[in-house]
Amino acid sequence: MRMHIDLDEDLVREIDRLAGPRERTAFVRKALTTAVTEARRAEALARVAGSLAQAAPHEWDADPAQWVRETRRSGARRAG
């Protein structure tokens, strides 16, 4: 699909410099795809923001390093 977008001349010159000869469309397509992906990610994060705050506490919350040490020591597969 084609669309018309007005851009500042300085921006177009910079796109041309970065994209190289005859690669303007591919450069803009990639930039817009990245922007849409990031916007979707931001929407998803906004929807779930704070959802973990209501989770029950975990046994490692107080001291994660200590929990890891204890877990490693108690493992049946531990060598040594």
What's the pLDDT at 28?
96
User: Angle at which helices 24-48 and 9-19 pack, to 10 degrees?
Assistant: 100
Nearest residue to 65 (alpha-carbon basis) of 73, 76, 57: 73
Q: Compute, in degrees rounded to 10, the torsion defined by CA atoms 70, 72, 75, 78.
A: -140
- pLDDT 10s digits, 27-79: 999 999 999 999 999 999 999 888 776 777 888 888 999 999 988 888 766 65
pTM over 0.85: no
Query: Per-residue confidence at 2, pLDDT binned at 50, 70, 90?
Result: very high
Nearest-angstrom CA–CA distance, 77 and 34: 45
**Tokens (6 digits) for 9:** 């001349």
- pLDDT 10s digits, 6-40: 999 999 999 999 999 899 999 999 999 999 999 99
